[in-house]
Structure 1
Amino acid sequence: MIDLLVAGAGPAGAATAIRAALAGLSVVVVEPRSSPIDKACGEGIAWSATEYLGRLGVRLEGRPFYGIRYLDADHAVDARFRAGPGLGVRRTTLQRALADRLAELDIPVIPTRVEAITQTLNSVTAAGITAHYLAAADGLHSPIRRQLSLGVAGSEEPRRGLRQHFLVRPWCDLVEVYWSALGEAYVTPVADDLVGVAILTSARGSFDSHLDAFPALKRRLAGATPATPVLGAGPLRQRVRGRVAGRVMLVGDAAGYVDALTGEGIAVALRTSAELVRCVQADRPAEYEAAWRRVSWECRFLTGSLLWARNRSLLAPRIVPAAARLPGVFGAIVNQLT
């Protein structure tokens, strides 16, 4: 019987497995998708997350960015990072780096699905493998979370994300966030000749139709060749009643998700994965829920507060003007998150 079975080889699952192996635990990963796994995301990784991945021995290549810029039709405001630059990294590049590290540590990755889960007082069995613990890192719409009845139905209007890459030299060393009545468009430099554009909105429509709501960005992209197909993700908001069920613990997007507004999904996944491994080492799974809440609360609070304001018709148009009037406050919030 192994110490830890990890369901999912995305950033949360791979980081959990790597940290567990480095801690001396026996670990196996189950992942039905072929590598490298792609996903619609903003692809900007905060300095704290890149630094943590470096400590795990994950070697990343990408394009540095040095802060966040908010823009609407009449305002623009920058917040420069104080701790260090973030890194724009293609999701497939990140996945290759994680897969390489799993291979270096001889962590088995089995190409199968987790179906029925059975538990005893001392073990959990899934995908034909028995372990002391199971880390469920199977994504935003986690089948394991659903199987264990840990999800909570949401009542709010769902927001979704669409992402596409364009062959164009990045025009800025910041991640730009364009705001409009439709939603937000994030531009992340991911290579010397490539930017990723992710649009978050509750409106229905195509990527191109949504891009019309951001005329300044559309002008920037005029003549640029799309480099990848459009990928979508959502609904983004995932409410979870708890992250522990016996010997199963949820991590990453499977553990619950507020929104992609602040772009801190990977950083939170890494911090909470470290807590999961600590609880496995201590043989105290019941402590994981409180640990998860402790290390993620700040990001959840700030993201939830910004999303609440975004969803108020009177407040939403004032977000970027307020940031422009109070750049010090805006910069402090951005740096607190990163």
Structure 2
Amino acid sequence: MIDLLIAGGGPAGLATAIHGALAGLEAVVVEPRPTPIDKACGEGLMPGAVRRLHGLGVHVGGQPFRGIRYVDGLTGRSAEGLFRSGPGLGTRRTALQSALAERAAALGVSVLQRRVGEVHQGDGHVTAAGLTARYLVAADGLHSPVRRGLGLSARPADGRPARYGLRRHYRTAPWSDLVEVHWSARCEAYVTPLAPDRIGVAVLTADQAPFAEQLARFPRLASRLAGHEDGPVRGAGPLRQGARVRVAGRVLFVGDAAGYVDALTGEGLTLAVTAAGELVRCVAAGRPQAYERAWRDLSRSYRTLTSSLLWARHRPRLAPRIVPLAARLPRVFTGAVNLLA
């Protein structure tokens, strides 16, 4: 019998499959889309994600970056936090997914191009996509059909507006070896170096408006990028997604399907790859229920810092002070950056 039937062939699903194969488990991935799979995201891997990928034998190319810079979108005032544990890596989402798929294939992981559909749990097994396995791992993204089908999605109750992400590439040389986060009154723009001649720009906002309109809120950045557009705009959201549990019988959730706060701190991929390892460890030890607590423990810093920053972001009096405060307290800002790194 299959040990891990994994719904979703993105980074979280493939990382789970690789962890499983390395632990001696039979893993099968079910994914309806062909490789490579693209997605609107910031495309920056924090140092922790780079180390964990290397530990899995996954090597992906890209452009290293040394830390994070917050920039006031109007005045240009900035604050920098440098990584202490090695560089992060800006890499195309398609390149990352392809590298993960190649490593999974080398370990004998089967990837079937089909949809999961209904999930049925029995005594000692779970059935989905016409296959039977000991466990089903839902790694099927923000709007996880598995999570929704099992009635495990949770709506945020604090009344905060939904946030969305938009991403576009630009054919131009990176002007910095840092990821820049530009702040305006209503949104943030992330500038990530991806190659010697390419950068990615991701905008996070609660306003549903075209990318060009969002970028115009950063006049200095928009002027620098004008005429260098390369490729279409991709979008994702609403970003904030709640999950009631991470373990439901023989179904376990990982990656965005396990619940997501926001992309503001850029820790999503680190959490996904790390959680995938914890999930496999718990299953291999015969203690799948322990994964719930393991997920909560390893995601605590991400959830706390991201929620706190979002809270400040939605306070009109506090939001304009985020960059000046980071500049005034460089050790605190650097400490926060390295906690997430």
Q: TM-score, normalised by structure 2?
A: 0.97
Q: Residue 211 of structure 1 corresponds to which residue in structure 2?
A: 215
Matched with 1:100 is: 102
Alpha-carbon distance in 2 for matches of 1:311, 1:110: 43
Deviation at 1:19?
0.5
Q: From 118, 128, 132, give the equivalent of 1:126.
A: 128
Percent identical pairs in the alignment equals: 60
Q: Deviations over 1:198-244 (max 9, x none)?
A: 000001210001111001111221232x2121000000000111111
Residue of structure 2 in register with 1:189 after alignment: 193
Letter in 1 for 2:321: R
1:263 paired residue among 259, 266, 269: 266
- Offset of residue 313 of structure 1: 1.0
- Please say which of residues 149-158 and 75-84 is displaced more in the overlay: 149-158
Match in the other structure for 1:139: 141
2:81 pairs with one of 68, 79, 82 = 79
State the distance in 1 between where 2:151 and 2:271 align: 23
Quote the offset at 1:55 in angstroms: 1.0
Task: Provide the rounded CA distance (Å) in 2 between the counterparts of 1:176 and 1:78.
Answer: 9
Q: Deviations over 1:265-293 (max 9, x none)?
A: 00001111111101110122211111100
SS of 2:188's partner is: strand
Encode CA deviations 1:28-52: one digit per residue, 9 max, x unaligned.
0000011100000000001111111
State which of 309, 312, 318 in structure 2 corresponds to 1:309.
312
Q: Distance in 2 between matches of 1:150 and 1:288?
A: 16
Number of aligned positions between the proteins? 337
CA distance in 1, matches of 2:88, 2:98: 19
Give the one of 263, 286, 289 matched to 1:286: 289
Correspondence for 1:321:
324
For the 8 Å contact 1:6–1:29, the answer to whether it is kept is yes
State the one-letter code of the partner of 2:211: F
What letter corresponds to residue 67 of structure 1 in structure 2?
Answer: G
1:38 counterpart letter in structure 2? D
Letter paired with 2:160: E
Distance of 1:219 and 1:78 partners within structure 2: 22
Distance 1:133 1:282 in 2: 13
- Equivalent residue for 2:91? 89
Map of 1:223 onto structure 2: 227
Q: Among residues 325, 334, 339, which one is paired with 1:331 in the alignment?
A: 334
DSSP 3-state at the match of 1:78: strand
SS of the residue 2:223 aligns to:
helix
Q: Which residue in the other structure is 1:39 paired with?
A: 39
**Counterpart in 1 of 2:117?**
115
Q: Does the CA contact (< 8 Å) of 1:71 and 1:176 recur in 2?
A: yes
CA distance in 2, matches of 1:130, 1:284: 20
Aligned-partner Cα distance in 2 for 1:112–1:283:
28
Q: What letter is aligned with 2:184?
A: S
| Distance in 1 of aligned mates of 2:289 and 2:23 | 20
Determine which of 240, 249, 253 is the counterpart of 1:250.
253
Deviation at 1:121, TM superposition (A): 2.5
Moved >3 Å (runs of 4+): none
5+ residue gaps in structure 2?
Answer: none
Cα distance in structure 1, aligned partners of 2:286 and 2:131: 19
CA distance in 2, matches of 1:106, 1:270: 19
Q: Which residue of 1 aligns with 2:154?
A: 152
Counterparts of 2:227 and 2:146 in 1: how far apart (Å)?
A: 44
The counterpart of 1:172, out of the listed 176, 183, 191, is 176
5+ residue gaps, structure 1, are none
Structure 2 CA distance for aligned equivalents of residues 223 and 123 of structure 1:
55
Instruction: Please report the RMSD computed on the Cα atoms of aligned residues, expressed in angstroms.
Output: 0.8
In the alignment, the residues of structure 2 paired with residue 104 and residue 116 of structure 1 have an alpha-carbon distance, to the nearest angstrom, of: 30
Query: Distance in 1 between the 2:185 and 2:177 partners?
Result: 26
Contact 1:150 1:243 in 2 (8 A): no
What are the Cα deviations for residues 163-198 of structure 1, in whole angstroms up to 9, with x where unaligned?
000000000000000000121000000011000000
Q: Which amino acid aligns with 1:308?
A: W
Q: Identify the range of structure 1 (146-155 vs 176-185) with the bigger mean alpha-carbon deviation.
A: 146-155
SS at match of 2:289: helix
